Structures are given as C-alpha cells and as structure tokens.
Chain A
Amino acid sequence: MMDGYEVLFFFEVLVGGLLAGLMYSLVAIGFVLIYKTSGVLNFAQGAMLLFAALTFVSLVNYGAPFLLAFAATFAIMIGLGFAIERTVLRPLVNRPPITLFMATLGLAYVIEGAAQLLWGTQVRRLDLGISDKPMEIAGLLISSFDLVAAAVAFGLVAALGAFFTRTRIGLAFRAVADDQFAALAVGLRLPRIWATVWAAAGFVALVAGLLWGARLGVQFSLSIIVLKALPVLLLGGFDSILGAVVGGLIIGASEKLAEVYLGPYVGGGIESWFAYVVALLFLLARPSGLFGQKIVERV
C-alpha cells in the first residue's frame, strides 16, 4: 500500500488544503456578516476586497506607514459601507432578497470600475513582512504565511463571536438577523445597523484583501476570489460563521486532494469547478448547507 513517504505527502497536501481553505473562509465570513443581518447575498464582497487592498497598497506606495494606511483604509471602508446603505439598501428596503442580490451585482461592477479608475490596473506587490517559505513542522513542510493567515482567520472568528455575544451592538445585530420587524418594534434603528454591518464587512474585506493581496499581488483577479468563497458558503450555509470556517476547511482540503490525486486523470485545471460540485453534492443531502438555518415555508 502507501509507504511512509506517500503518507507524509498525503498529509502535506491535506494540511496545505486545510490552510488554503481558511483563506477562503476569510472571504466567506464577510458574506455571512451581511447575509445574517439583512438576508442579502452580497456579491460585491469581492469588489470590496479588491477596493480595500488597492487603497491600502496605494497609500503605502505614497509613503504612509503600515498602521496609518490600515486605519485610513478602514475609515474609507466605513464610509463606503455608510454610502452603500444610503444609496442602495435604503431605497430597496422591503424588496425581495433576489432584487437586492442583483443590486449587489451592479454594485460589484461600480466598485471594481471605480477602484481601478482611481488606483490604476497594474499589478501591485504587497509585502506584509511574513515569509512564504515552507518550514518543517512534525515532518511536514508548511508555509508559515499559511499559518499566519489561519491564525488571523481564527482570530477574526473569535473576535466576531465575542462581538456578537458580548456587545450591545452585537446583540442588536442578532436581533435584526432574528426578526427585522420585531427589532424595529423595540426601537432598533435598522439603517444604522445595516451601515455598521457593511462597515464590518468592509473590515473583513480589508483583512482578507491584505492576505490575498500579499499572496497573489494586488490586481483585478482579487475580486474573482468571491467565486472561491461561494462554494464555501453553499457548503457551510449562508448565515453561519462556523459554517464558513468548516466549509472552507472541507472545500480547501478536497480541492487540493482532488487536484493532486484526480487532476492528472482528467487533464488538470479542475479547481475552477470542483469546489462547486463538492458543495452541490453536500447540498443535495442538506439544502441549507451544513450549518445554515432551515427554511420554514409559510403560505
């Protein structure tokens, strides 16, 4: 059967896949935040990620120190969140979720175009000072960059978890997610909460954008990372942060394993669709994903 080297190689692929999956989770968490509180699948999340990364890199290139650039970009993302609430979400209040989804498609086009019109289309290098060299842990070669990214992902999940359960505004988010009308009735101000949620999603986009940008270079293809995050959401459920993490792990691992062990038989390049097939197979058994809320039908 498998000799020692092959077993080791298998685990290396597996761990590499799990860590890569957490990078997907980072993007997926931004979607979950917005979906949980407003029932909208925000297709513009990838464009926001691109916008954040491009803004950050441009500021750094102009000579801003890391922290200042980070703070300034975060401030811009907050402004963007409030602007989106004002111009897109508020006029579309009480419209079917699918309309809002199509609006976010349009929004993605606007943000992508604006980001590149403002900051240019060339690929920018982003150096976060984390080495991407593999190091040996328990006999496995693992990229230290991947480990840092994984730590950031878990840190973000922990922070969001604490935020949702320990703070007043987190509680308000959950109230809105639970029942919009009831939340309104007890005096929560929906517009402000939505704007805050979009700002929070902007923060997640910034963090994910920096890590992905450091890995791939900051360029247009960053906004296509949405397409990698969507199967993760299908699998984990659109409204579960835990689902985004577990979904990311499953998608990442199965994608890498399939690429290595299945790819050669079909000519490679299967990573563009394999994740979707995995997610669809899961969905046939559980139509709301692993951790998604069950849909209750009322007539």
Chain B
Amino acid sequence: MTTILALPETSRRILPRPSAALIWSALVLAVAYVAVPLFASRYVIEALLLPFLALSLAAVGLNLLTGYAGQLSLGSAAFMAVGAFAAYNFNLRLGFLPLPVSFVLAGLTAALVGVVFGLPSLRLRGFYLAVSTLAAQFFVQWALSKFGWFSNNNPSGVISVPKLQLAGFSLDTPTGRYLFSLTIVTLLSFFVWRLTRSASGRAFLAVRDGETAAKAIGVPVPQTKLLAFAVSSFVIGVAGALWAFTYLRTVEPAGFNLDRSFQILFMIIIGGLATIRGAFLGAAFIVVFPLLLARAGAFLLGGIFDSGVLDMTQRIVIGALVILFLIAEPKGLAALFDRIGARLSATAARLIGSSSPSPRS
C-alpha cells in the first residue's frame, strides 16, 4: 500500500481501482467472446479452453468455501461427480427440460449433497473437518460406481453425454460448446463475486477469521457454514456438469478421484485464496503447465523423457510450486500480478512524468 501512496498523482488517475477492474473484466470478456471464437484453433479450444473453463469454475466454488469461509475441503471432485452424473440423469430422464435447467437442477443436487457432508462442520474444526470431507470423496465415488441407476446401468459406470443442444439449436461444435461453457462460467463467477460482497460474504470472512468472535458479533455461524457448503457445492457441481458435457463427453466416477480434488485445491493455493481472479489464474496455470513441461522435457531430454518420467516430474514440480507459493507468495498469482501491474504502472507513470514536462530550457 505504501508504495502506491508514494506514487505521483498521475498513476492514481491512470488506474483508479473500481473502474480498472471493470475495464479489465470487459476486456477479458470481449477477447473471450469475440477474438477466441474467431481465431482460436480447434485444438486450443478443446484441449485448453474447455478444461480451463470447467476447472476454473470448480476453483471458484472451492475458493468460496476454503478461501472465503475458511473451511478446508478435500472432496471437491466428489461434488463435481455429483453435478456431472445428476445433469446426465436429469437430461436423460426428464428430456423435456432445457439443458440450462438440467444444469441448475444438477447444481442443486450437488448443493444438497454438500450440505449433508457439510453437517460435520457444525461440530468439527480444522483438520478434523478437513479429513472428514474425505468421506464425501470416497462415499460418492463408491455410490456412483456401485449403483447402476446413476450411469443408466452401464457395467463400468461410464456415462456418455448427448450432443449439446439449446432451444433447438445444436451447440455441438467446439466453438458452440466453448460459448455455452463460457456463458455459464461468467454468470456463476459474477454471482459468486456479488455474494462475496454481500452481508453473507462478510459473514464468511468473519467465520474464517475467528469463529468465536463471529458468534460474539451476532453472525449465525452454523447457517453461514452450511450456506458456504451449499453455494460452493452448487458451483462445483455445475463445474462437474460442464466438465462432462462440454469437455470430456464421456466420464466415469474414477475420473473424479482424490487427485482431482487436490488439483482444484492446488489451483486456489497457486492462484490466490479468497480472490475470484486467483481461481482463474490457478486453473490456467494447472492446465497449461503440464503441456509446457511435456514440450520442454521432450525438447531438452528427448527419448528418456517418456510419459512415466513426465508424470513423476509433473508431480514433483507441482508439489514444489505449491510449497514455494505458500512460502513466498501466500496470496498467489493474483497478488503477484497485482504487484507486477503496480510496478508497471509506476514505471509508466515515471516515464510519462519525466517526458511530459517541457524540456529543461
């Protein structure tokens, strides 16, 4: 903060805070809605943007629960699975419903499951709660593969989603699926952003920062926790539905395993806890990084860098990065980018400041 205060007057006029955020969001959305469909290749959309969008949304959901409300969950993938399988079943069994309605119902189903598995949070704290969220992870995975009804009696629990359709229009092109996914992610992220700035959002922070203190100032702690679990699970559930309907098209319960849960947790650690931007930055990093590592490894080491070595190297580097971020930049990429932005605008201001006054004469 002090560095910003020390800046010359001009830099504060260049980047006033609220409108800057607005301009950035508008810019990103314009690129996402206009430039990407026009210029992005099929590969970029299918292998990068679709998983990025679904995982970003999941990270936004987890960030609400863990970053804002302070309840560490290790079972996010379970709620993605609930969302994916619920959307599949609503779509299959109530075929007359438009797809967005199926998605909302899938989110609500995930929210319900989330509240049930969030009940222990009323009694448990800290690690005891974190470990108990693993119950959701294992129970959901077990139930989905054990009971054939969930996967329409597929012997191995695999579901294949139908072609994406909206109000009679087919969205079954990469661009169609991308725009569908982008719209849902934008709407839900905006909703979560509004929520974090409402009275409920402040209650989340109060519970995170001190439960007893929150209780003392009249925050209804049990309701607040359950609300956090419900909304977070709703968002993660819709993310799971997107994962199944727009990205993979064929999913199985084993795809929503503990590693996936950790992956989402790592996204919000690397991206930045308690920021919406952080969820997106973290997801982008986790999606792009393995591809870069594979390219770099193949380039530098050639033949010895096979898929097994790649897999292990990825684990090591991701793990090391998580530790590094916790040590050096606990607020994640979001804070890192803020600092870089501030430094750039300071430099820009200095350059403008030193060049605009008339030459010494």
Contacts and interface: CB of A to CB of B under 8 A. Distances in A.
Does B associate with A? Answer: yes
A19 interface: no
Q: Which 5 A-B pairs have the closest CB atoms?
A: A109-B319, A106-B322, A113-B315, A113-B316, A276-B135
B72 interface: yes
Interface string A195-234: 0000000000000000000000000000000010011011
A276 B135 CA distance: 6
Contacts of B123: 283-284, 287
B124 A283 contact: yes
B131 interface: yes
B131 A230 contact: yes
Interface in A80-115: 87-88, 91-92, 95, 97-99, 101-103, 105-114
27 contacts: A98-B72, A98-B126, A99-B330, A101-B127, A102-B265, A103-B323, A105-B262, A105-B319, A106-B322, A106-B326, A109-B319, A109-B322, A110-B319, A111-B319, A113-B313, A113-B319, A227-B134, A227-B138, A230-B131, A231-B131, A234-B131, A272-B138, A272-B142, A273-B139, A276-B135, A283-B120, A287-B124
Interface in A270-293: 270, 272-273, 276-277, 279-280, 283-284, 287-289
B142 A103 contact: no
A18 to B, nearest CB: 23
A117 interface: yes
B151 to A, nearest CB: 14
A185 interface: no
A16 B177 CA distance: 53
A110 B135 contact: no
Contact of A276 (B134, B211, B315, B321): B134
Given A227-B134, A284-B120, A234 B315 contact: no
B186 interface: no
B128 A109 contact: no
Interface of A: 41, 87-88, 91-92, 95, 97-99, 101-103, 105-114, 116-117, 121, 227, 230-231, 233-234, 238, 266-267, 269-270, 272-273, 276-277, 279-280, 283-284, 287-289, 295, 297, 299
Interface string B116-130: 000010011111101
B285 to A, nearest CB: 14
B212 interface: yes
A203 B326 CA distance: 27
B132 A280 contact: yes
Given A97-B127, A109-B315, A113-B313, A102 B120 contact: no
Contact of A102 (B139, B309, B313, B322): B322
A299 B210 contact: yes
Contact of B127 (A41, A88, A95, A277): A41
Interface-centre pick from A92, A277, A283, A288 (highest chain B CB count, 10 A): A283
| Residues of B contacting A: mostly | helix
Nearest to A292: B128
Nearest to B132: A280
Given A105-B265, A227-B134, A273-B138, A288 B128 contact: yes
B238 to A, nearest CB: 25
B327 to A, nearest CB: 4
Contact of B134 (A41, A103, A230): A230
Interface-centre pick from B139, B147, B314 (highest chain A CB count, 10 A): B139
A234 B322 CA distance: 26
A92 B329 CA distance: 11
A99 B141 contact: no
B213 interface: yes
Given A106-B326, A117-B316, A276-B134, A297 B146 contact: no
B127 A105 contact: no
Contacts of B218: none
Nearest to A298: B212
A277 B135 contact: yes
Contacts of B141: 272
Contacts of B269: 102
B320 interface: yes
A98 B212 CA distance: 18
B135 A106 contact: no
A287 B323 contact: no
B299 to A, nearest CB: 19
A112 B131 CA distance: 20
Contacts of B315: 109-110, 112-113
Interface string B285-310: 00000000000000000000000110
Interface in B98-155: 120, 123-128, 130-132, 134-135, 138-139, 141-142, 146-147
B264 to A, nearest CB: 12
B323 A276 contact: no
B216 interface: yes
B265 to A, nearest CB: 7
Contacts of B319: 105-111, 113
B64 to A, nearest CB: 16
